[in-house]
Amino acid sequence: MRLNNKTIRNYLFFSSVIFILTIPVFYVVVRRVLLNAVDHSLKIQLQEIRSNLNEIHSQQELSAWSRLDKDIALSPTDRPAKDRLYSVNHFSPKHREQEPFREIAGNITVEGQLYQLIIRSSLIENEDLLGSILSVQIGMLIILTGGMLWINQRVSKRLWQPFYVALRNMQTFELNKHTDLSFKTSTTDEFNELNKAIQNLFSRSSELYLQQKEFTENASHEMQTPLAIFQSKLELLMQTTPISEEQANLINTLDETNRRIIKLNKSLLLLTKIENNQYQTIEKIEIVPLCQRLIQQFLVHAESKRLIIHQRFEESFTLPVNSTLIEILLGNLLSNAIRYNRENGEIVISTAKNSLTIENTGAFSPLHPERIFDRFHKQTGSAGSEDSTGLGLAIVKNICTLYGYKISYSFDNGWHFFRVYFPSRILTESKNTLAAQ
């Protein structure tokens, strides 16, 4: 969940709690205030009636007076009682339902006769007023909460904009690509400090990467000459006579080791050139003819292990790519399928709508999908790994990354599958270009 959404969620939770707690409390308080006002009014009416009793001279006048006001009930009694306030419901013939009333009951004396006087006041208007006040209060709370959330949303987006810009820069930053990333200045000191720290981190990482890349490239170049000289001296040493069998074995071991070092040096140099994007020449390469040509080149090696190569080219397409790199990509996959295959095994090379698959028999257990494309990773104990540099599939991965291809590995019932997916956009652009020509 995004940070801003978490903040809004907290606001909503707090607002909901406020609604749940304050609305009932507000209802009770306002209702109590209105009841107190009604009670005060009833007490005043009772006090005024008692103060004006001297104007009534007979019981007939009292009865006539009580019948004039429907909110007053008068009845004789022989038991004196204290004044009391209470709520009661009475049936309303007009509305045909029970309606709430507030009543006060007290005693009065007229010409020596004790009467119980009841004064009532309808609470319908008070209830309607209370509902109106409550509705206005709820509406104000909703508007206030909605306004706060809307303002928070707008302000948060603007306030956190430098953070999201810095986050996008971190997500898109690549060491092997020299791109100038711009950061958004902010009035918040913490964001400015964060931008400065990220810029320093990017700058330092780029410097270390360039130093490491330069060291690898220089080391590979500098090693080529002494390795070539060493190899030529070994070849001359092989031609000298006399030479013992022990000496011949030592020279042969040195020759194999030196050839592996030369191969490793070339692979490291190739990786450096790929990362430096030094293969910028782009050509239109037809995949199927290239695969057929590579199969012919590796045919002798495959026949030495009595391997059968099947070709299943259902689709033919053209890729805009550097010819050297695409040959290295497919050549490494085909060489890998031959090297790690078993005697009398099989290899299947096939194409589909936007993919190329090389599948081969081999080890009866799957490789490590999460490490198979790492540099210097070798499958322990697998046949063919003795003279491997462990860089072949790493080079394949780098080439795919360079051109936006996607490569995957899978295993099924003794078969190892390497599938390269080509983006449909690249294939479409390629076909359109060829059609125009």
Q: Which two tokens stand for residue 6?
A: 């978490």
CATH number at residue 292: 3.30.565.10
Residues 251 and 303 in one domain: no
Residues 431 and 335 in one domain: yes
**Rounded CA separation 309/348 (Å):** 6
Q: Which two tokens stand for residue 283?
A: 């050509």
Q: Which two tokens stand for residue 181?
A: 């990333």
Whether 165 maps to a domain, the answer reads: no
Residues 287 and 429 in one domain: yes
Whether 243 maps to a domain, the answer reads: yes
Listed residue (416, 223, 259) closest to 337, CA to CA:
416
Residues 268 and 319 in one domain: no
Q: How many structural domains comprise the chain?
A: 3
Q: Which two tokens stand for residue 369?
A: 């999908």
For residue 84, the SS3 value is strand
Point out the domain boundary residue: 246, 278, 310: 278
Whether 169 maps to a domain, the answer reads: no
For residue 241, the SS3 value is coil
Whether 374 maps to a domain, the answer reads: yes
pLDDT at 179 over 70: no
Residues 348-388: tens digit of each pLDDT: 999 888 889 999 998 888 887 777 888 777 665 455 555 56
Q: Quick one: angle between helices 392-403 and 245-275, nearest 10?
A: 10
Residue matched to tokens 């046949």? 383
Residues 37 and 129 in one domain: yes
DSSP assignment, residue 78?
Answer: S
Mean pLDDT lowest among 198-207, 242-251, 254-263, 424-433: 424-433
Highest mean pLDDT among 5-14, 262-271, 292-301, 367-376: 292-301
Q: Quick one: angle between helices 189-238 and 245-275, nearest 10?
A: 150
Residues 13 and 79 in one domain: yes
The confidence score (pLDDT) of residue 433 equals 47
Residues 124-173: tens digit of each pLDDT: 777 777 778 778 878 887 887 778 777 777 777 777 788 888 888 887 77
Residues 79 and 190 in one domain: no
The confidence score (pLDDT) of residue 9 equals 75
Q: Which two tokens stand for residue 160?
A: 């956190």
Sign of CA dihedral 355, 358, 361, 362: negative
Residues 109 and 214 in one domain: no
Residues 276-289: tens digit of each pLDDT: 666 778 888 888 99
Whether 164 maps to a domain, the answer reads: no
More confident position, 79 or 349: 349
Whether 17 maps to a domain, the answer reads: yes
Domain interval for residue 432: 283-436
Point out the domain boundary residue: 243, 260, 278: 278
Mean pLDDT of 386-398: 77
**Rounded CA separation 398/276 (Å):** 11
Q: Which two tokens stand for residue 350?
A: 């096939």
pLDDT at 113 over 70: yes
Point out the domain boundary residue: 254, 278, 302: 278
Residues 202 and 82 in one domain: no
Collect all residues with Cβ–Cβ distance below 8 Å to 325 and sequence separation of at least 6. Answer: 274, 279, 399, 402, 403
Whether 160 maps to a domain, the answer reads: no
**Long-range interactions of 28-32: CB distance < 8 A, separation 24+:** 30/130, 30/133, 30/134, 31/130
CATH number at residue 273: 1.10.287.130
Mean pLDDT lowest among 50-54, 194-198, 231-235: 50-54
Residues 308 and 267 in one domain: no
46, burial (CB in 10 Å: exposed 0-12, middle 13-18, buried 19+): buried
Per-residue pLDDT band for 22 (boundaries 50, 70, 90) equals confident
Whether 400 maps to a domain, the answer reads: yes
Cα 11 to chain centroid distance, Å, stands at: 22
Residues 329 and 296 in one domain: yes
The confidence score (pLDDT) of residue 419 equals 92
The confidence score (pLDDT) of residue 67 equals 67
Cα 169 to chain centroid distance, Å, stands at: 16
Pairing relation of β-strands 283-286 and 318-321?
Answer: antiparallel
Q: What is the 3-state secondary structure (H, E, C) of 376-419?
A: CCCCCCCCCCCCCCCCHHHHHHHHHHHHCCEEEEEEECCEEEEE
The confidence score (pLDDT) of residue 220 equals 67
CATH number at residue 106: 3.30.450
* 129, 130, 133, 139: CA torsion to nearest 10: -120
* Percent of the chain's residues with pLDDT above 90: 7
Residues 82 and 209 in one domain: no
